[in-house]
């Protein structure tokens, strides 16, 4: 479930530190093979009133991000400052997630496990993860008996329409998005109250998807 904690407005040294943290996260994910070939995008919430995020510039090598590789965008996903480089092609996915109370950072990876598993379950719109001790790394789960239902959305180049579908699920009380979702043959999105929590959620999902993948190959 989404946390109810709100994120403070980031300015000055705190904003620089957050961008450095995101860049270090990108370098780590790149090293682990989850953000290769310019894939992935990352964002951190700057403020809620008005809603502003720093999102990675489109097409950057995520293993070598610097402070200049982020664009400030508003609630409509457009750059706040004139002349800014284009933000991620997937900016609107970050925006709809950041609009949720308690979401302070959003991370997207392109691991082989996410790519293959979301394809393996073709025709299925959810990846069910249950029984694993590592589920306790997802905020709110306190036992291995928890069930994490991770929706799988079909891949598309029409990101605004995908963002609408994600937003519908975010507002669907019967089938709430928990900590992340998959895009078929594309990758994983996960979020958290801050960068550390979002990173932990990505790590837990990547670990569990790797387990599911190895289980399939053992069978």
Ligand X SMILES: CSCCC(=O)C(=O)COP(=O)(O)O
Residue 190 CA: distances (Å) to CA of 11, 30, 197: 24, 16, 9
Among 7, 23, 25, 88, interactor with ligand X by CB under 6 A: 88
| Residue span 178-217 as binding mask against Zn ion, x where in contact by CB under 5 A, dash where not | ---------x------------------------------
The span from the CA of 2 to the CA of 179, in Å, is 7
Does position 155 interact with ligand X (CB under 6 A)? The reply is no
The span from the CA of 143 to the CA of 63, in Å, is 34
Beta strands per DSSP E along 58-125:
70-74, 105-109
Helical packing angle, 91-98 and 159-170, nearest 10°: 20
* Residue 201 annotated as lining a ligand binding site: no
* Residue 120 annotated as lining a ligand binding site: no
- For Zn ion, the closer of residues 10 and 98 by Cβ is 98
- Tallying the residues shown for the chain, one arrives at 219
Site for ligand X in 40-59 (CB under 6 A): 40-41, 56, 58-59
| 17 in Cβ contact with 49 (< 8 Å) | no
**Closest CB 160 distance from Zn ion, rounded Å:** 15
Does position 118 interact with ligand X (CB under 6 A)? The reply is no
Q: What is the enclosing helix (H) or strand (E) of 42?
A: strand 41-48
**Stretch of 22-30, 87-95, 132-140, 200-208 lying at the interface with ligand X (CB under 6 A):** 87-95
| Residue span 127-166 as binding mask against Zn ion, x where in contact by CB under 5 A, dash where not | ----------------------------------------
């Amino acid at each position: 479930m989404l946390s109810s904690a709100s994120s403070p407005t980031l300015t000055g040294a705190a904003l620089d530190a957050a961008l450095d943290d995101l860049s270090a996260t990108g370098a780590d994910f790149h090293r682990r093979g989850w953000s290769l070939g310019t894939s992935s995008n990352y964002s951190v919430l700057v403020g809620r009133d008005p809603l502003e995020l720093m999102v990675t510039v489109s097409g950057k090598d995520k293993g070598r991000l610097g402070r200049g590789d982020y664009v400030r965008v508003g609630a409509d996903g457009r750059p706040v400052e004139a002349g800014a480089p284009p933000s991620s092609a997937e900016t609107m996915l970050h925006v709809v997630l950041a609009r949720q109370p308690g979401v302070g950072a959003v991370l997207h990876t392109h691991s082989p496990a996410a790519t293959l598993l979301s394809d393996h379950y073709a025709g299925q719109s959810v990846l069910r993860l249950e029984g694993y001790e590592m589920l306790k790394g997802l905020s709110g789960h306190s036992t291995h008996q928890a069930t994490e239902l991770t929706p799988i959305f079909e891949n598309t180049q029409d990101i605004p329409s995908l963002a609408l579908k994600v937003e519908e699920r975010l507002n669907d009380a019967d089938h709430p998005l928990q900590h992340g979702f998959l895009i078929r043959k594309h990758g994983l999105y996960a979020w958290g109250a801050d960068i550390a929590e979002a990173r932990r959620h990505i790590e837990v999902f990547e670990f569990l998807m790797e387990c599911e993948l190895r289980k399939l190959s053992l069978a």
